Amino acid sequence: MRQMKLGLSIANLGYHYAAWRHPDVPEAGNMQFSHFRHCAKLAEAGKFDLIFLADSAAVRDLDDPAIARDLEHQLVKHEPLALLAAMAMVTKHVGLVCTASTTYTEPYNLARQLTTLDHMSRGRAGWNMVTSFSRDEARNFGLEKPLTSDERHARAAEYVDVFKGLEESWDDGALVHDKASGIFLDRSKMHLLKHKGRYFSVRGPLDIAPGPQRHIPVFTAGESDNAIELAARSADVVYGGQPNLELARAYYTTLKGRLAKYGRDHDDLLVLPGIMAFVGRTMQEARDKFDRMQRLILPRLGLGLLVVNGFPDYTGYDIDGPIPDLPMPSTIKSHGPSPLLQTLRNECSTIRELYERVSAGFWHMGVVGTPTSIADLMEEWFTTGAADGFNVQSPCIPVDSQDFVDLVIPELQRRGLFRTEYESATLRGSLGLKPAAARTMPRTRAEFATP
């Protein structure tokens, strides 16, 4: 029976904007390893396929007076690779997916870093490939504004090919370690990549033997046509951001429909939409949890969230009054899907209602329910062509992750929809991806098709 793949997205203290004010959330946890150790062990206790660490290398919009960054907790975060290396030491089975930018890093560096993580974790490394869309990141790397989406994605396509080429730059069995003959490695089994492309010139080979997975699973996300094309071409897993079944099905169908163009099968790419779940033993308990969190959003924070998510600045208006008819800004600071904004605005009658909806993670599947109702929803998405699994975005971490593990996972397991034991030692294996073929022929990639 086909089973769901589940990621636990550990966004520090949680996806809810007021998460850090929850009495059981460690308010300083985003800088403390003890918090992440606890979360990593929890993910493994829940038999999650992977821990997912999203990232961007900047504090975004710090100086925009309309955005109350001083009230937010999500800007403060660790660099994910070092954090995952530490998490690898306190876990045995769970995958470790690290976000890294194709715009602000070089493929040789990243192939070294992730191959080492793959060795240290015995085959559990994953790479979430992002192209970095924000202006604040650009300003940390010598640019005034980000490269265009076309440019970022052309670079990413070449980058991921170089990355995979480096993963293939050794044949199996190259390390001989023969003390008697004195031969340490078989030189004939290491190959130059000799890549010269538009963005990169990389001679190779990698200075690290292939990791247990050889090909580290590549994750990505994004709804632009460029992002979808890159995913269909080069990714193993896509993290989806669709708020309802209809949009999720359409996204799933589009992605899977583009695989054939690249000679890939339907199951070569997994789609895991985000799910932000407030779970209670009863519906009342779930609603109480949700309401308690919503009450913790200060109006100034709420107004700022609207700006970040593409709405106008409503500062100065009565937050419990009607939503003023101001023009929608043309640029969106986050990656929220803009057509949804107008619908959401029409559904809400006050400014407070609007920011509360936004803070509940409107650009992913948001749900308040019991283990049964949440499992019903996940099953529907999973069995009707919208998802191959989910990336779980707990509102408050670790409290809501704990509830998900204690309440929802057993319900999914009871239905046969999720594993009860890890069946593989590697992330590739857990995800059911085809094993990477051993390298046999030297390969030179001089030219790259851009998406």
- Which stretch in 50-58, 347-355, 380-388, 410-418 sits in contact with ligand FMN by CB under 6 A? 50-58
**Footprint of ligand FMN on residues 93-112 (CB under 6 A)?**
99
Helices (H), 360-434: 371-383, 399-403, 409-414, 427-431
CB atoms within 10 A of CB 142: 7
Cβ 408 vs Cβ 371: under 8 Å: yes
DSSP 393-409: --SSTTHHHHHIIIIIH
The closest of 393, 5, 394, 401 to 217, measured between CA atoms, is 5
Chain-centre distance for alpha carbon 208: 26
Which single residue is written with the structure tokens 């769901």? 4
- Which stretch in 124-132, 187-195, 206-214, 262-270 sits in contact with ligand FMN by CB under 6 A? 124-132
Token pair belonging to 381: 């998405």
- Which stretch in 104-112, 223-231, 280-288, 376-384 sits in contact with ligand FMN by CB under 6 A? 223-231
Residue closer to ligand FMN, measured from CB, 98 or 433: 98
Query: From the CA atom positions of the chain, what is the Rg in Å?
Result: 22
Q: How far is the CB of 25 from ligand FMN (least distance, A)?
A: 21
**Footprint of ligand FMN on residues 154-213 (CB under 6 A)?**
none
Q: How far is the CB of 272 from ligand FMN (least distance, A)?
A: 9
| Residues contacting 77, CB < 8 A, separation 6+ | 12, 30, 55
CB atoms within 10 A of CB 146: 19
Among 140, 149, 338, 350, binds ligand FMN (CB under 6 A): 149
The β-bridge partners of 220 are 129, 238
Among 104, 108, 239, 278, binds ligand FMN (CB under 6 A): 239
**Footprint of ligand FMN on residues 326-385 (CB under 6 A)?**
335
Residue closer to ligand FMN, measured from CB, 130 or 387: 130
173 Ramachandran zone, left/alpha/beta (phi>0; psi -120 to 50):
left
Residue closer to ligand FMN, measured from CB, 130 or 157: 130
Token pair belonging to 239: 């993290």
Q: How far is the CB of 12 from ligand FMN (least distance, A)?
A: 12
Return d(Cα 387, Cα 390) in angstroms, integer.
7
Q: How far is the CB of 55 from ligand FMN (least distance, A)?
A: 5
Among 54, 67, 84, 405, binds ligand FMN (CB under 6 A): 54
Among 133, 163, 251, 252, binds ligand FMN (CB under 6 A): 133
Residue 227 near ligand FMN by CB under 6 A = yes
Among 107, 210, 222, 304, binds ligand FMN (CB under 6 A): 222
Which single residue is written with the structure tokens 């290398």? 57
Among 221, 228, 301, 308, binds ligand FMN (CB under 6 A): 221
- Which stretch in 54-62, 76-84, 255-263, 298-306 sits in contact with ligand FMN by CB under 6 A? 54-62
Cβ 320 vs Cβ 351: under 8 Å: yes
Return d(Cα 225, Cα 76) in angstroms, integer.
31
The closest of 262, 270, 273 to 223, measured between CA atoms, is 273
Cβ 175 vs Cβ 185: under 8 Å: yes
Residue closer to ligand FMN, measured from CB, 254 or 315: 254
Among 68, 94, 130, 386, binds ligand FMN (CB under 6 A): 130
Burial class (CB within 10 angstroms; exposed 0-12, middle 13-18, buried 19+) of 101? buried
Token pair belonging to 326: 């101001």
Q: How far is the CB of 192 from ligand FMN (least distance, A)?
A: 32
Q: How far is the CB of 271 from ligand FMN (least distance, A)?
A: 11
Residue 78 near ligand FMN by CB under 6 A = no
Residue 241 near ligand FMN by CB under 6 A = yes
Return d(Cα 356, Cα 291) in angstroms, integer.
10
x/- letters, 273..312, toward ligand FMN (CB under 6 A):
-x--------------------------------------
Which single residue is written with the structure tokens 């005034």? 144
Return d(Cα 83, Cα 87) in angstroms, integer.
6
Type of residue numbered 208? I
Residue closer to ligand FMN, measured from CB, 300 or 335: 335
Among 103, 115, 226, 430, binds ligand FMN (CB under 6 A): 226
Residue 74 near ligand FMN by CB under 6 A = no
Residue 61 near ligand FMN by CB under 6 A = no
Q: Which residues bind ligand FMN (CB under 6 A)?
A: 54-56, 99, 130-133, 149, 152, 221-224, 226-227, 239, 241, 274, 335
